[in-house]
Amino acid sequence: MHGNVYEWCFDWFVEYAEGAVTDPLGPKEGVSRVDRGGCWGSFASFCRAAFRSRLEPSYRSYDLGFRPACVPSR
């Protein structure tokens, strides 16, 4: 799925802390949201989940979207 469109993420942007962490949560509020994954017009190095940048929530573009997900029921 990487490379279709950049994906909005739930997290507000903040620089990661030093050291190893698993699934870090961003702050509860902020100015910029995280987007990931690159788009069809990106360089290949951007088309991966580890690529992370920031955009203001009001930003709109043809190469930016979101991926709905649901939690499986038990």
pLDDT < 70: residue spans in the chain: 1-2
pLDDT of 24 reads 78
Based on the number of CB atoms within 10 Å of its own CB, is 32 exposed (0-12), middle (13-18) or buried (19 or more)?
A: middle
pLDDT of 58 reads 93
Say what the pTM is.
0.75
Residue ranges of the domains in the chain?
1-74
pLDDT of 2 reads 65
How far is residue 4's CA from residue 66's CA, in Å, rounded to a whole number? 11
Task: For residue 30, report the phi and psi dihedrals to the nearest 5 degrees.
Answer: 180, -165
pLDDT of 29 reads 92
pLDDT of 47 reads 86
